[in-house]
């Protein structure tokens, strides 16, 4: 592997190695050839999710008492890096299902947990997390999708957008406004696609098109109050706390992508000859490779630090924000440099770096943009919120 060493226990090294072999042999060809920029149907994606569950993806973040493998956060993130280095498209449903499963275990009623958690852990079902709306992005407090009470049901109307897993989803954990209080008026409600129904429309993007990102339309959808996740009005605080961990995963997604770009660039620089020698022997190419490798490793170490804080049971809001900010911006820089090292070949579809560069551009947007991470870091430094 063309990156610096990290400390791993024997168990972590074995788990990472086994997963890497599986991904290289069985998954990489799917995303680099058959489904390159082409939507992967649900049954094929579900087949992969089932296989990945055996390696501790999704199942890892759930405790053994609830049917999962109960891995620590650092190990889960090490495994997740491998998935992202193979395919960021594949890493999206892994991430979303993992955080849906984590939320269900932590907060949902025993009935909801019994009904929806086993399918997610096994890789049989898909969840979507519906926060963003056409008019609501960086400021979660402004959510407008309304849930109003009608006896023992919620009636939900609104529109969610940018929803990962949307087309695959069996259920949506929807952030709804249940009162006008900006902080204490948001509630998460589980909407079952088959029982309650919602309309899904795919979104075509610059990249990440092998998996689903969708708009979801809710038109007076009738859902039992028993499908409320956690206490009514308590979802904002929980969503913000949840971001702390999910941002570390989005950061690791960027690390995996950047590492792959570096690996591709190293291989190319060792093979391509110009001016009588391989381009790796030209000092300006060597400098670029050295900078790329240092960026990848620095980003990974920031993610590992956040994971170690999670595992120690400590808050890590600033550290997760630093990891997300740095890793996603590093991915953009590293992927661009990988294209540069490939010369003209780098902008053709014959080489993977073209796709990696398009994917990298997306990374600084979801789960809080780069600017939002900067604001969080600065607020932690000064105690003054600049947003």
Ligand X SMILES: Cc1cc2nc3c(=O)[nH]c(=O)nc-3n(C[C@H](O)[C@H](O)[C@H](O)COP(=O)(O)OP(=O)(O)OC[C@H]3O[C@@H](n4cnc5c(N)ncnc54)[C@H](O)[C@@H]3O)c2cc1C
Q: Is 362 in the site for ligand X (CB under 6 A)?
A: yes
Q: Is 163 in the site for ligand X (CB under 6 A)?
A: yes
The residue whose two tokens read 């649900």 is 42
- Cβ-based nearer residue to ligand X, 9 or 371: 371
Q: What angle do CA 38, 130, 193 make, to 5 degrees?
A: 75
Q: Is 138 in the site for ligand X (CB under 6 A)?
A: yes
Task: Tell me if 221 sits within 8 A of 156, measured CB to CB.
Answer: yes
In the complex, the smallest distance separating the C-beta of residue 383 from ligand X, rounded to whole angstroms, is 17
Q: Is 137 in the site for ligand X (CB under 6 A)?
A: yes
- Cβ-based nearer residue to ligand X, 312 or 381: 381
Q: Is 164 in the site for ligand X (CB under 6 A)?
A: yes
Task: Tell me if 75 sits within 8 A of 249, measured CB to CB.
Answer: no
- Cβ-based nearer residue to ligand X, 89 or 297: 89
Whole-angstrom Cα distance, residue 132 to residue 297?
A: 31
Q: Which residues contact 203 (CB under 8 A, 6 or more apart)?
A: 161, 162, 213, 214, 215
In the complex, the smallest distance separating the C-beta of residue 330 from ligand X, rounded to whole angstroms, is 17
In the complex, the smallest distance separating the C-beta of residue 373 from ligand X, rounded to whole angstroms, is 9
The residue whose two tokens read 């090292």 is 341
- Cβ-based nearer residue to ligand X, 292 or 332: 332
Q: Which of 162, 268, 310, 326 binds ligand X (CB under 6 A)?
A: 162
Instruction: Look at residue 3 and give its three-state secondary structure.
Output: coil
Q: Which of 48, 129, 173, 218 binds ligand X (CB under 6 A)?
A: 129
Q: Is 274 in the site for ligand X (CB under 6 A)?
A: no
Q: Is 32 in the site for ligand X (CB under 6 A)?
A: no
- Cβ-based nearer residue to ligand X, 171 or 268: 171
Q: C-alpha 162: how far from its chain's center? A: 13
In the complex, the smallest distance separating the C-beta of residue 256 from ligand X, rounded to whole angstroms, is 15
- Cβ-based nearer residue to ligand X, 227 or 246: 246
Piece of 29-37, 83-91, 123-131, 319-327 that binds ligand X (CB under 6 A):
123-131
Q: Which of 75, 125, 132, 209 binds ligand X (CB under 6 A)?
A: 132
CA distances from 38 to 46, 207, 257 (A): 16, 10, 18
Q: Is 93 in the site for ligand X (CB under 6 A)?
A: no
Piece of 39-47, 287-295, 316-324, 363-371 that binds ligand X (CB under 6 A):
363-371
In the region spanning residues 174 to 233, those forming contacts with ligand X, defined by CB under 6 A, are 208, 213
Q: Which of 57, 105, 366, 377 binds ligand X (CB under 6 A)?
A: 366
For the record, the structure tokens of 15 come out as: 């788990």
Interface contacts to ligand X, rule CB under 6 A: 96, 129-132, 137-138, 162-164, 208, 213, 362, 365-369, 371-372, 387
């Amino acid at each position: 592997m063309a990156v610096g060493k990290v400390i791993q226990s024997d168990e972590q090294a074995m788990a990472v190695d086994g997963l890497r072999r599986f991904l290289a042999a069985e998954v990489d060809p799917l995303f680099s050839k058959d489904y390159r920029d082409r939507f992967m149907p649900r049954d094929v994606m579900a087949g992969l999710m089932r296989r990945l569950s055996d390696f501790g993806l999704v199942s890892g973040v759930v405790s053994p008492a609830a049917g999962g493998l109960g891995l620590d956060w650092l190990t889960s993130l090490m495994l997740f890096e491998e998935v992202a280095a193979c395919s960021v498209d594949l890493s999206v449903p892994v991430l979303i299902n993992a955080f849906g499963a984590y939320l269900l275990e932590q907060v949902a009623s025993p009935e909801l947990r019994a009904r929806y958690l086993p399918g997610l852990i096994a890789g049989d079902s898909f969840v979507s997390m519906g926060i963003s709306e056409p008019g609501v992005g960086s400021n979660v407090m402004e959510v407008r999708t309304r849930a109003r009470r009608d006896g023992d049901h919620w009636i939900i109307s609104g529109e969610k957008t940018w929803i990962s897993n949307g087309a695959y989803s069996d259920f949506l954990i929807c952030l709804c406004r249940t009162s006008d209080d900006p902080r204490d008026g948001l509630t998460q409600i589980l909407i079952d696609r088959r029982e309650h129904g919602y309309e899904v429309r795919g979104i075509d993007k610059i990249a990440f098109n092998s998996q689903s990102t969708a708009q979801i339309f809710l038109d007076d959808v009738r859902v039992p109050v028993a499908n409320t996740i956690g206490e009514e009005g308590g979802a904002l605080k929980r969503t913000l706390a949840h971001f702390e961990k999910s941002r570390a995963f989005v950061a690791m997604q960027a690390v995996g992508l950047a590492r792959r770009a570096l690996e591709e660039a190293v291989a190319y620089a060792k093979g391509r000859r110009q001016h009588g020698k391989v381009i790796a022997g030209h000092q300006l190419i060597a400098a670029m490779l050295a900078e790329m490798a240092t960026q990848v490793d620095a980003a990974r170490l920031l993610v590992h630090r956040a994971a170690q804080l999670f595992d120690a049971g400590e808050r890590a809001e600033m550290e997760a924000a630093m990891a997300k900010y740095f890793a996603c911006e590093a991915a953009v820089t590293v992927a661009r440099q990988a294209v540069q090292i490939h010369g003209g070949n780098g902008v053709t579809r014959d080489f993977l770096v073209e796709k990696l560069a398009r994917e990298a551009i997306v990374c600084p947007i979801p789960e809080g943009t780069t600017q939002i991470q900067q604001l969080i870091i600065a607020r932690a430094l000064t105690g003054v919120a600049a947003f």
